[in-house]
Amino acid sequence: MSDTGTDTRAGTNEAARDLTPPFRYTAELAGEIERRWQARWNELGSFHAPNPAGPLAGEVPDDKLFVLDMFPYPSGAGLHVGHPLGFIATDVYARYHRMRGHNVLHTMGFDSFGLPAEQYAVQTGTHPRTTTEANIERYLAQIRRLGLGHDERRRVATTDTEFYHWTQWIFLQIYNAWYDHDLGRARHIDTLIGQFESGARAVPGGRPWAVLTAAEQHAVLEDYRLVYHSNALVNWCPGLGTVLANEEVTADGRSERGNFPVFRKHLQQWMMRITTYADRLLDDLDLLDWPDKVKTMQRNWIGRSRGANVEFATPLGRDIEVFTTRPDTLFGATYMVLAPEHDMVDALVADRWPDDVDSRWTGGARTPSAAVSAYRAAIASKSDLERQENRDKTGVFLGTYATNPVNGHEIPVFIADYVLTGYGTGAIMAVPGHDERDFEFATAFGLEIVRVVSQPGVDPNAPLEAAYAGDGVAVNSANAEGLDINGLAVEAAKSHMIAWLEQRGRGKGTVQYKLRDWLFARQRYWGEPFPIVYDEDGVAHALPESMLPVELPALSDYAPVTFDPDDASSEPSPPLAKAADWVNVELDLGDGLKKYRRDTNVMPQWAGSSWYQLRYIDPTNSDELCAKENEAYWVGPRPEIHGPRDPGGVDLYVGGVEHAVLHLLYARFWHKVLHDLGHVTSSEPYRRLFNQGYIQAFAYTDSRGVYVAADEVEEREGAFFWRNVDGDEVEVYQEYGKMGKSLKNSVTPDEIAENYGADTLRVYEMSMGPLDASRPWATKDVVGAHRFLQRAWRLVVDESSGQLRVTSEDLDERTLRILHKTIAGVDEEYASLRMNTAGAKLIELTNHLTKAFPNGAPRTAVEPLVLMMAPLAPHTAEELWSRLGHESPLAHGPFPIADENWLTEDSVEYPIQINGKVRGRVTVPADASREQVEAAALEDSKIAGFIEGRTPRKVIVVPGKMVNVVL
């Protein structure tokens, strides 16, 4: 939509400029002030935070604050106004604390490895570093324009060689570590070798350590290292020369891009053993101040479930083993299901159907084995996801029965595609009374449904209308062999059942996780090379730390090597393999010069973001990734403030909820390894997390569904119109969604800063609503924030003369109360990240001062207002502060302090109702008794007039609130 409000953009309109008083706060003036103060802050190093030790050392107070933003990937498109929402909020928070005397670490770096720069390089030959650096420059210009108070000395980019040196160093620490389950932590691999040598730990295979060859020792250690090689099954596409993610492969097994054949192939890949940390990653969530939603997402992702593996006897003489999370429901298991691919299916299939077989169970086939073949063929092309999400349950009976170990019932065995082959044991006991999928299946196939968990208010023997998955106690769950779990709640019933099964050898308690090890290699160019070489026997060797960093080689062509599309035997050859001089090296790894081949994979994009905040702490340290003294100061545990179990970590981390799982899980994992190995004192990277909402925007499509430029659309009488290339006006349709290039509805911070000033943009973004809520962008509303700043400006500066307008008048009582209430309120709002309500309170105070003092407001009220505005509108506040005669800038305070004496109200106004209608008001002392309030109300002349001498039937006094007179 076009914005025609020229009067609101005084700086951009010639005619308006002539009428504008010379000292009005316009976009032009704001721009001038902003640039001047940014230069001044830079010169003074206003946002430099000293460290306790090292090159950035200085005097450090005990009060410190480390505020962190999820650092951006510098894409070619630059920022739109949605991106800086979180950046501005952290800046407001940081500035507020800095003014209150905290040592505040706030900076911002770039997560700059990644695919777009590489793809651009493939197309154009431009080195990804060139593209990345240009994008970073553009981002920096945009960020700086917003006046974010970053310590620029601490800025890092993950693509800086000095930075990825330490990413490689961390990789080596993890590679050279194993998990000692006895101690519950990771240790250096040498301690494991020591145990093997001394015999304290048995060597797998039984032979003494000393007699194993170097290659055999190497192979043993690989099974313990936290980084290891695995033969992962991947989607290999020779035609594209790359491995594809499942989503990039079509249903008929071809690449989405290019339509080449895709082969499932085992490929040697680096894996990180994050699963050894599953319990700690789960349990330590309790120590973190994070949104519950994110904790729940992490818990679900790790997916720990206590359950049991239970054996069901079959006529084969071999048992079917099932995995269940609900062993307490075993009495309700009325049938079994095997995954169609389960290896016992063929052996279990009966020769023919039982005489009375239900026709729904046979799939219309003449024999069970015909039914199985037909069923397998029918489901062959379905993905796991389709199989699980399909509500129309299908399957066939094998003609065979198994024995339920707790009640001896013979229960039918089926195959069905809702049971997956890769999960648990690939076989289940079906409990239709309490599992929704089983209920759907049992209903479709006419199978027995039994209740074994009580449901509040429902008779335990009434038929079930749907599966009941809620809590309750066990019912109908006892047998003749002395097992009786009736009346026990779920967890107790589970333990009891597991004990019984274990005693009879019919099952075993288990803990299962959904979390899988982390596939840590990509066949790309623009990532961190691995500090690993292979000798002539193909044995991997970690490089010594002295050989770091391993720098990326220059290439003339960044595309992966492609092959004959049908050549299934081809092997991926990443771009780095083309740099022959780099790949083939002669090195002395302690046993003389030998020939080696470098690893040609690169690390995944998650690597740099898994630890970057530690480098902000000590960005120029060339001996260590981060000196421990500095780490302890900025992120070490502070039990005296946060309680005895405080894990430490960044004081506030702000970013989008889309990173709730992977980034945050990987970063926690790396941090815990570094902690175990003694490199950091904190055991968690981010003590407090906050997810900001999204800025959303209207977008418009024409009748074909194609997006048109949102800023060219005009609204008339509730409809929307746009002129196409031929100049014809066409109707377009409004929709609402994320802001972005693809929806053609981006607004850049640059254009808002140009038209109103950066402070206006900051105030607008912060006042749109609570920080965690998503909000619609409306350029036409930005002017509201601008007008607030203009009013505040006018309290200090005369628009025509430029002279100060403040007076030395004393404050009246009402203004004192309003002022101190505002100070107390704003203080609390800033501290609680409620920037929107802080802003609202400042607007109220500004309005009060404007109205109450038309000829100039007292300095003693205006100065605290200016100080309080500083976190939100720092440039304007600095300018006003200096015009008010202060020489030192206000970046380091002071921040006003509320005077308690003015916070208590000493009188209260009561509305007085007569028969429920407000008829008047009285003001009484705040400590007046009920009787005194009642007397004051009845004596009031207006009220007395209404009562006209009658005696009220009742007078109700609600203390502090109101009086109601019933006549």
List interacting residues with ligand ANZ (CB under 6 A): 305, 323-326, 329, 339, 419-420, 423-424, 426, 428-429, 431, 434-435, 512
**Which residue number, 67 or 428, has a Cβ lying nearer to ligand ANZ?**
428
Smallest distance, Å, CB 412 to ligand ANZ?
Answer: 16
Q: Nearer to ligand ANZ by C-beta: 435 or 765?
A: 435
- Determine how β-strand 103-106 pairs with β-strand 64-69: parallel
| Closer residue to ligand ANZ, CB minimum distance, 489 or 840 | 489
Q: Is 456 exposed, middle or buried (0-12, 13-18, 19+ CB in 10 A)?
A: exposed
In this complex, which beta carbon is closest to ligand ANZ, that of residue 420 or of residue 816? 420
Distant-in-sequence, close-in-space partners of 751: CB < 8 Å, separation ≥ 6: none
* CA 103 – CA 88 distance, rounded (Å): 19
CA dist., res. 507 & res. 511, Å (int) = 13
Distance in angstroms (rounded) separating the CA atoms of residues 531 and 114: 19
Q: Which is nearer to ligand ANZ, 196 or 375 (CB)?
A: 375
In angstroms, what is the minimal distance from the CB of 418 to ligand ANZ? 6
* Nearest distance, CB of residue 365 and ligand ANZ, angstroms: 24
Q: Which of 504, 501, 500, 490 is nearest to 325 (CA)?
A: 490
**Helix count (H) and strand count (E) of the chain?**
30, 31
434 vs 848, beta carbon nearer ligand ANZ: 434
Coil, strand or helix at 664: helix
Distance in Å, CB of 323 to ligand ANZ, minimum: 5
- Ranges assigned E (strand) in 121-163: none
In the complex, least distance from residue 349 CB atom to ligand ANZ, rounded to whole angstroms: 19
Q: Sheet holding 917-925: strands in order across? A: 917-925, 907-914, 962-966, 954-958
Closest to ligand ANZ by CB, 91 vs 417, is 417
Q: Which is nearer to ligand ANZ, 512 or 696 (CB)?
A: 512
Nearer to ligand ANZ, 336 or 957 (CB): 336
What lies within 8 Å, CB to CB, of 675 at 6+ separation is 681, 682, 683
- By CB atoms closer than 10 A (0-12, 13-18, 19+), residue 748 is middle
Residue 175 and residue 190 in contact, taking contact as beta carbons nearer than 8 Å: no
Taking only Cα atoms into account, the Rg of the chain, rounded to an integer number of angstroms, comes to: 35
CA-to-CA separations, 350 to 317, 377, 404, 427, 664, in angstroms, rounded: 14, 19, 19, 18, 51
CB of 174 to ligand ANZ, least distance (A): 28
Burial label for 918, CB within 10 Å (0-12, 13-18, 19+), is: exposed
Taking the complex as a whole, the smallest distance from the CB of residue 442 to ligand ANZ amounts, in Å, to: 12
User: Toward ligand ANZ, which CB reaches closer, 195 or 512?
Assistant: 512
Which residues, 6+ apart, have CB-to-CB distance to 473 below 8 Å? 453, 454, 486, 487, 488, 489, 493
CA distances from 17 to 26, 32, 35, 876 (A): 9, 16, 21, 20
The nearest distance, CB 333 to ligand ANZ, in angstroms, is: 7
Report the C-alpha dihedral over residues 297, 298, 301, 306, rounded to 10 degrees: -110
Closest separation in Å from C-beta 435 to ligand ANZ: 4
User: 């990180």: which residue's tokens?
Assistant: 272
Which is nearer to ligand ANZ, 64 or 496 (by Cβ)?
Answer: 496
Q: How far is the CB of 430 from ligand ANZ (least distance, A)?
A: 7
Q: Let me know: does 338 contact 309? Beta carbons within 8 Å.
A: no
Contacts of 789 (CB under 8 A, 6+ apart): 25, 30, 757, 759, 760, 763, 873, 876
Distance from C-alpha of 418 to C-alpha of 339, rounded to nearest angstrom: 8
Decide if 896 contacts 823 (C-beta within 8 A): yes
CB nearer ligand ANZ, residue 514 or residue 814: 514
Q: Would you say 297 or 539 has its CB closer to ligand ANZ?
A: 297
Q: How far is CA 5 from the centre of its chain?
A: 39
Q: Nearest approach, Cβ of 508 to ligand ANZ (angstroms)?
A: 15
Please, what is the minimum distance in Å from the beta carbon of residue 411 to ligand ANZ? Answer: 13
- Measured over the CA atoms of residue 380, residue 384, residue 387 and residue 390, the dihedral's sign is negative
C-beta of 149 vs 327, nearer to ligand ANZ: 327
Strand partners, 689: 653
Closest approach of ligand ANZ to the CB of residue 476, in Å: 14
Closest approach of ligand ANZ to the CB of residue 385, in Å: 12
First-residue to last-residue Cα distance in the chain: 58
Nearest to 696 by CA among 756, 758, 747: 747
Distances (CA, A) of 509 to 278, 305, 500, 506, 514: 18, 11, 11, 11, 17
Q: Compute the residue count for the chain.
A: 967
Contact 6, 16 (CB under 8 A): yes
**In the complex, least distance from residue 332 CB atom to ligand ANZ, rounded to whole angstroms:** 7
Closer to ligand ANZ at the Cβ: 299 or 723?
Answer: 299
Between 329 and 394, name the residue whose CB sits nearer to ligand ANZ: 329
CA nearest neighbour of 361 among 399, 411, 320, 392: 399
Q: How far is the CB of 428 from ligand ANZ (least distance, A)?
A: 5
Q: How far is the CB of 345 from ligand ANZ (least distance, A)?
A: 14
Residue type, 188: H
Which residues 6+ apart lie within 8 Å of 874 measured at CB? Answer: 37, 95, 147, 149, 759, 762, 891
CB of 318 to ligand ANZ, least distance (A): 19
